[in-house]
Structure 1
Amino acid sequence: MALLLSVLRTAGGRVPGARVPGARVPSRRYSSRTSSSQFLHESVVPTMHYQKSLPRLPIPKLEETIPRYLAAQRPLLDDDHFRTTQTIALDFQNGVGKQLHQALVAQDQNNKQTSYISDPWFDMYLSARDSVVLNFNPFMSFTPDPKKEYDDQLVRSTNMVCSAVRFMKTLQAGLLEPEVFHLNPAKSNTDTFKNLIRWVPSSLSWYGAYAVNAYPLDMSQYFRLFNSTRIPKRGKDVLFTDEKGQHVLVLRKGNLYVFNVVNRDGNLVEPAEIQSHLKYILSDSAPKAAHPLGVLTSENRDVWAGLRDRLVAAGNAENVHLIDSALFCLCLDDESMRDHIHISHNMLHGDGCNRWYDKSFSIIVTKDGQAAINFEHSWGDGVAVLRFQNEIFRDTTEQPLVHPGSAALAVDSASAVRRLTFNLDSELQNGIKKAKENFDSAVSRLTIDAIEFKKGGKEQLKKSKLSPDAVAQLAFQMGFLRQYGQTVATYESCSTAAFKHGRTETIRPATVHTKRCSQAFVHQPGKHSVEQLRAMLADCSQYHGQLTREAAMGQGFDRHLFALRYLAETAGQAVPDLYTDAAYAAINHNILSTSTLTSPAVTLGGFAPVVPDGFGIGYGVHDDWIGCNVSSYPARNVHEFLQCVHKSLEDIFSVLEGKPITD
C-alpha cells in the first residue's frame, strides 16, 4: 500500500481538473502491418480491460469530512478564530450541509458511469478566465539521453515524434499495457497472470487484479493526449478532439508548420522522412514571425476567445483547424540552455512566441537537445502525461529509430511541409502585440531557484522509519516558519486514479504535528532532547501517512466540500456560511503549493505559484538526496526560502543521526 500511495502522490496534478466523458479510445483503421516500428509493445491484456470494473470514487461521510476540515484549520487559526469556524462548520454539518450531502449522494447514484467530482471539477477548470501560462500549465523536463550524441536537436526531435506516434498507435489499437500498480509483482506482473486475467470479463477484471494485490488505475483521460486542444470560448472553454488528424504541429521562430506523421494506412511515416521534414524546418531561412500567433494562447481566455473568433472570420478557419486537430505540438527552440534555472523558465513559459499553450501537450526541444513536456492541464491529470513521458523516454533511448549520422530520406520536404500563413488585420496584429506585452509583464515577475540537498534521502529516512514525503513536507513547513514566522495553507496533490474517473484530492501537510515540530526545531532548538525531537518527527510522519491514505482512497475533505458548494450554486441556493467564512477562503489560498515527482525519465519539473504571495514547490526525494525546484513572485523571496528549507533538512538529518541542532 505504501508504494501505491507514493505513486498516486506522484501522479496527482498540481491544479487538477477535467471531465472525462468515458473510457473511449478513438477507433482508427490500421493495416495488417504490426511490426515493432509501429507499436511500443503489444499487451496481451487490452488497454481498457479494467476500466468497466473500476470501483467508483466514494463520497465521504459528512460527519467525517467536517472533523477533517477542522483538523486542517486548527494549525492555521488562533483559538478565537478556530472556535468561530468550528461553530460555523458544525452548524453546516447539522443543517444545510446535511441536505446538500443527501442531494449529492442521490445525484451520484443517478450517474454511476462517472465520479461525483468529474463534472463540477471540469466546469471549474474550463470556466477559469486566467491565462493558462503560469496559472495552469506545468512542465516536466526529460532526462538527457545517456548516449550524448543522441541529444542532437534533429535526432532527438525525430525520435521523440516517432515514439509519440508509436505510443498513440499502441493506445488506439488497445495494445498499450494497462496502467496497474503491482504491490506484489511476483504474482501480478507476470505472463501467467496476464494470460489468465485477459479472459476474465471486463466487468469483473478489477477484482481479479485486486485479489493478487494489484491496483488498476483509471485510463479514461488518455484519449485526450492526442489530436486535442483547449479552445477558448467566452465564459467557458471547450475541449476539442479530432481523431482524423494525421499531422503534427511544429513551431520554430514563432512560425507554424504542419506535416503528416501518419500515412493513409494509419501507420507511422518512415522515420527518415520525418527526419527530412524536421531538417527542412530547422534549416528554413524564414525570419522570426513578425506577428507570432502562438502568443495569443497566453492571453486571458475571454480576450483570446474574441481574437480567435476574429481570426476565423478573417479567412483563417482551415489553418486554425489544422492547429486544433494536430496530434500534438513540437516546439523547436533556437536557444541553448545555460543551466537548470534557464531550463525551468524556458520549459515553463519560454518567450511566448514559439508555443501553442492550448495543445494537450507540447514537446519542447532546444538547440542543445534539452527536452521537456509542457501540458495544458484541463483535460486530465499527471497520470497520463507521466506514463506518456516514461514510455517516450524509454523508447527513444532503448529503441531509437534514427541515429547520429542517419541520412534523411531524399523526399520533397518543401512540398510535404506546409508553413501556415494567416490573414491578420490590424485588430489581430494589435491583439498579438498586446498579448506579448502582457506575457512579458507576467513572466518578468517570476523567479525560480532550486537546491539539491546531498546529506541524505529516501534510504536514510526509511531506515529511520519515516515517510520521505512527510519529511520533505515538514521541511517546507519549517522553512516557511523560519523565514516568515507563520504556518500557512499548504496544498499537496494526490491522485484518486484508483477509482473510475477519479481526479485528485488534496493532502493538507500543515498539521498540528508539523506546527509543534517546526516550532521546536526553529524557535526552541535547545529545549528538547534528540529523543523528543525524533518522537515529534515520528508523529509528523505517522499523521502525514494517515492523510495520504485518506486522500488516495477518496476520503479527503476538499473535493467533498467543493462538490457541495457547486451543488448549492447550480441549484440557485444561497452559498452556505461555511464558504463565506474567512477561514475557508484562507485555507484555499494555498501559499505553499507542492507536487512531487520522481521518475528516471524526468530530471526537473515545475510550475508557478497558485497565488501572488505563494511558492510553487516541485520536489523529489531520491535515494540519497532531495531536490526542490521552487518559484515565486516578488511578494516572496524564493532564494531565502530555499536556504531555510536546506537548513531545516540539515537539522532533521542531524537529529536522525543523534546530533543536537545547531544555529
Structure 2
Amino acid sequence: MASLLSMQCVASLRKSRGLVHLGTAVLGVKKRNYSRKEACPSEYLHQSVVPSMHYQKSLPRLPIPKLEDTMRRYLAAQRPLLDDDQFRTIEKLAQDFQSGVGKKLHEELVAQDKINKHTSYISGPWRDMYLSARESLVLNFNPFISFKLDPNTKYNDQLIRATNMVCSAVRFMKTLRAGLLEPEVFHLNPAKSDTDRFKKLIRWVPSSLSWYGAYMVNAIPQDMSQYLHFFNSTRIPKCGRDKLFTNEKGRHLLIMRKGNMYVFDIVDRDGNLVKPAEIQSHLQYILSDPTPAPTFPLGVLTSENRDVWAGLRERLIAAGNAEKLNLIDSAIFCLCLDDETMRDHIDISHNMLHGDGFNRWYDKSFSIILTKDGQAAINFEHSWGDGLAVLRFQNEIFKDTTEKPLVHPGSVAAAVDSASAVHRLDFRMNSELENGIIKAKEKFDSAVSTLTFGLVEFKKGGKNQIKKSKLSPDAITQLAFQMGFLRQHGQTVSTYELCSTAAFKHGRTEAIRPVTLHTKQCSHAFVCQPGQHSVEQLQAMLQECSKYHGQLIKEAAMGQGFGRHLFALRYLAISKGQALPGLYTSPANIPLQKNTITTSSLVSPTLGLMGFAPVVPDGFGIAYSVHNDWISCCVSSTPAGKIHEFIQCVHKSLEDIFTVLEGKTLR
C-alpha cells in the first residue's frame, strides 16, 4: 500500500506566508440545537455564508524543499536504522546525488513547478502513482472508516439508517455543488474567526485575497479540490494505468445486496432529493428481494490485479454490458447492504475493510456499507483523495442522520411502484468471464485469509495526562509502537506516519518518520536497560523524543518533509527515461523503505473504527486515536507479525511510559 489515510490536522502559524504546523487531527462535530421532532426535509445540510471554494484561489502553493534540506532530513531518518557501514554507504550516495544528478533533477522540478502554478508539484505524480499501481485495491489501497452507532438505538435499524444516510449524502452533495458547504478551515482562534461577523466580512473579500484575510485572524483554510471527485466517480481499470471517471449527470444510486446490483434515482429531474419515503420504499424492496446471490458475482472482479480486471472489463463490454457498467461508474455512490450481523470490533474491521468480495465494488470513489444490525462504514478508493475529505463527509452525515433524520422508526414507506423504479442489473456472461470470476475469488480468499486484526485499548491514561507533562500525545503513542516492536523482536524498524498538507493548494500528504536517534535511545532505556536510568532521566528522554517529533510534524505539515520531494525527483527521472540513481537502488536504502509499522491517526466524535492492512508481510498497520483519558489502536497484521504478542508489548510499553510520567520507578 503506497499511502494510507492522511488525518493530521492541528495548526500553528509561522511568520512566513502559508507555513502551517499540522499535527494529529481532532475533527470535531459542532453541536447544533436540532431535535428529531424539529427535523424536516431540506435540500441542503446548511447554507454557509462563505462560499465553499472561496479560499481555493488564494491558497498558498506547496513549497519544494531545498535539496540540501531534503538530504539532511533523509540522512537523519536513515541513521537509527543502519549500522555504521550501511550509513557511510548511504551518506556517500546522498552526497553524490545532491551534487550531481539530484541537483539537475531538482532544478528541473522547480522549473516545472513555476509554469504549473495552478497545482502542486506532487499532485499529478502522486495520483499517477495510485493509478499506475497494478496491485489489487483490496488490502493494498482502500481503507475504511466506520461510524459510531446512532445513540438512539431504534434508528440503527438497517432500513431506517440506510435511508437516512442516503438522504444525508445527497444533501451533502447538493450543498457542496451549490457552493453552500461551509469551507474546511482550521481555526486557531475560533473566538475571532469562527464567528458570523467574520464570515460575513470575509465573504466580500475577493477569492484571490481571501486566504490572507483568514490568516490575519489565525484561521487556516484547507484545500477542497479533492471534493470534486467525491460523487459520481469511479476508478476504471485500464492496462498499464487506470483512469478516474466522473459524470455529475448521474442521478442514481448503486446498491449491492448478496452480490446483486440495483440502481434507482435518488435525485429527480429537477435536481431535488427524491422523497425520503420513496427512497425507503425502494430500499425496502431491495432488502426483501428473494433473488438469490448470483453464481458468478461481478463485484469480486474489482479486487483483481488491475491489468487482469482491465482485460476482463473489455470482455464484459464486448459481451454487451457497456450500458450497465456505465450505470455503475456514473452512480452517485455505492450502498452495500450486508445481511450479516457483527459480533465484535474484529468482525467489523474485517467486514468493512474487505468483506466477502461479492457485495462490494471497490472501484467506486466511496461506498457506504451497512450491516443487518446497523453498523456502518465508508470504504473508499484512494487515488482521488485522502481521508480529510472523507472524515468531513462522515462527520456531516453522522450529525445530519442523528440530529435531523428524515425517516423514523414506524415511518411508513411511500406507496410507490418500487418494482418499476428499481432496476436489477443482469449481466451477459460467458465462460471466459465466469472463469475470471472464479480465479478472482480464489485470489481474494487467499489474500484476506492471512489478515488478522487486534485492538489495543489502554485505559490508564490519555491525552490529558500526557499534555499535563507537557509532552506530545502523538509523540508518546508513536514511541510506544517502537518500544512495543523492540520488546517483541529486539530491533528498531522503519515506521511511517502520515501528515496532511491540505493547507496548501492541491496538497496531498507528507510522510513523518517517527524513528529517530532520540526514540531509539529512549526505547532501549525502557526495554533493554531496566533499572539503569532514574525516573528523571527517563522523563528527560521522553521530553527529547516529544520535542524532536514536534519538529518533524511541523516540517511535514509545512511541506518541508523529504519523502514527497524524493518521490517527485524519482518520478521525474523515470519520466525522462533515466536510470535511477544509486540513492534509490542501494540495498542500504531498504530498511527505510520497508515500512514495517505503518500508522495513521484521527479522533472524531463520529468515529467507531478505522483500519487498513499492513504494507509488508511481517509488518503492522496501526490506526490509532488518543482520547482524553485512554488510547485505542486498531492493528492489522498477518500471522508472521504475531499480532497478539505485539499488542501486549505495546500495552506494556504504554504502561511503562505512564508509570514514568507519574514519577514512579519501573518494576
Pair in the same fold by TM > 0.5 = yes
Per the alignment, residue 313 of structure 2 pairs with: 308
Amino acid at match of 1:155: I
Structure 1 CA distance, aligned partners of 2:23 and 2:120?
19
Q: Secondary structure at the match of 1:259?
A: strand
Shift of 1:184: 0.3
> Percent of aligned pairs with the same residue?
75
1:194 paired to 2:199: yes
1:356-371 equivalences in 2 (<5 Å): 356-371=361-376
Per the alignment, residue 23 of structure 1 pairs with: none
1:614-625 equivalences in 2 (<5 Å): 614-625=619-630
Per the alignment, residue 415 of structure 2 pairs with: 410
Structure 2 CA distance, aligned partners of 1:441 and 1:647?
33
Per the alignment, residue 557 of structure 1 pairs with: 562
Per the alignment, residue 228 of structure 1 pairs with: 233
Question: Of the candidates 3, 6, 10, which is equivalent to residue 3 of structure 1?
Answer: 10
Contact 2:41 2:406 in 1 (8 A): no
1:37-436 equivalences in 2 (<5 Å): 37-436=42-441
Structure 2, unmatched stretches of 5+, are 1-7, 13-19, 27-39
Q: Secondary structure at the match of 1:115?
A: coil
Structure 2 CA distance, aligned partners of 1:424 and 1:44?
52
Structure 2 CA distance, aligned partners of 1:511 and 1:272?
57
Structure 1 CA distance, aligned partners of 2:53 and 2:101?
40
Structure 2 CA distance, aligned partners of 1:633 and 1:2?
30
Contact 1:142 1:601 in 2 (8 A): yes
Deviates most, 83-92 or 301-310: 83-92
Q: Secondary structure at the match of 2:44?
A: coil
Contact 1:234 1:301 in 2 (8 A): yes
Question: Of the candidates 566, 569, 583, which is equivalent to residue 571 of structure 2?
Answer: 566
Amino acid at match of 1:97: G
Structure 2 CA distance, aligned partners of 1:478 and 1:9?
21
TM-score (norm 1): 0.95
Structure 1 CA distance, aligned partners of 2:416 and 2:218?
52
Shift of 1:91: 1.3
Contact 1:11 1:382 in 2 (8 A): no
Amino acid at match of 1:309: E
Q: Secondary structure at the match of 2:225?
A: coil
Per the alignment, residue 632 of structure 1 pairs with: 637
Shift of 1:93: 0.9
Amino acid at match of 1:271: P
Contact 1:38 1:169 in 2 (8 A): yes
Q: Secondary structure at the match of 1:635?
A: helix
Structure 1 CA distance, aligned partners of 2:130 and 2:561?
20
Shift of 1:592: 0.3
Structure 1 CA distance, aligned partners of 2:450 and 2:412?
45
Structure 2 CA distance, aligned partners of 1:197 and 1:81?
54
Per the alignment, residue 659 of structure 2 pairs with: 654
Q: List per-residue Cα deviations over 1:324-369 (Å, max 9, x = no partner).
A: 0000000000000000000000000000000000000000000000
Q: 1:561 to 1:216 in 2, by over 3 A?
A: same
Q: List per-residue Cα deviations over 1:558-611 (Å, max 9, x = no partner).
A: 000111111111112221111112232331210000000111111100000012
Structure 2 CA distance, aligned partners of 1:411 and 1:448?
44
Question: Of the candidates 534, 543, 547, which is equivalent to residue 529 of structure 1?
Answer: 534
Shift of 1:88: 0.9
Shift of 1:8: 4.5
Structure 1, unmatched stretches of 5+, are 13-34
Contact 1:9 1:596 in 2 (8 A): no
Q: 1:9 to 1:421 in 2, by over 3 A?
A: farther
Contact 2:22 2:553 in 1 (8 A): no
Shift of 1:10: 4.9
Structure 1 CA distance, aligned partners of 2:643 and 2:113?
43
Contact 1:130 1:300 in 2 (8 A): yes
Structure 2 CA distance, aligned partners of 1:582 and 1:470?
29
Q: Secondary structure at the match of 1:619?
A: strand
Amino acid at match of 2:262: Y
Q: 1:286 to 1:325 in 2, by over 3 A?
A: same
Question: Of the candidates 577, 586, 604, which is equivalent to residue 582 of structure 2?
Answer: 577
Aligned residues: 640
Structure 1 CA distance, aligned partners of 2:210 and 2:553?
26
Structure 1 CA distance, aligned partners of 2:433 and 2:117?
45
Q: Secondary structure at the match of 1:597?
A: strand
Structure 2 CA distance, aligned partners of 1:298 and 1:565?
28
1:472-621 equivalences in 2 (<5 Å): 472-621=477-626
Q: Secondary structure at the match of 2:623?
A: strand
Structure 2 CA distance, aligned partners of 1:587 and 1:479?
18
Deviates most, 572-581 or 69-78: 572-581
Amino acid at match of 1:653: F
Shift of 1:2: 8.6
CA RMSD of aligned residues (A): 1.3
Amino acid at match of 1:453: F
Q: Secondary structure at the match of 1:4?
A: coil
Structure 2 CA distance, aligned partners of 1:56 and 1:2?
17
Contact 1:8 1:497 in 2 (8 A): no
Shift of 1:50: 0.2
Shift of 1:379: 0.7
Q: 1:257 to 1:8 in 2, by over 3 A?
A: farther
Contact 1:140 1:602 in 2 (8 A): yes
Amino acid at match of 1:417: V
Q: List per-residue Cα deviations over 1:54-103 (Å, max 9, x = no partner).
A: 00000000111101000000100011111111111011111111111111
